[in-house]
Amino acid sequence: LRMLLTGPGGTGKTHVVKAVKKVMEHYGIDHYLRFVAPTGTAAALIEGTTIHKGLGI
For 12-55, the pLDDT digits (tens) are 999 999 999 999 999 999 888 899 999 999 999 999 999 999 88
* DSSP structural state of residue 30: G
pLDDT at 32: 87
In sequence order, which ranges of the chain are alpha helices (DSSP H)? 13-26, 40-45, 51-55
Answering whether pTM is above 0.85, one says no
**Rounded Cα gap, residues 47 and 57, in angstroms:** 19
**Rounded Cα gap, residues 30 and 38, in angstroms:** 21
pLDDT at 12: 94
Indicate the domain borders of the chain: 13-55
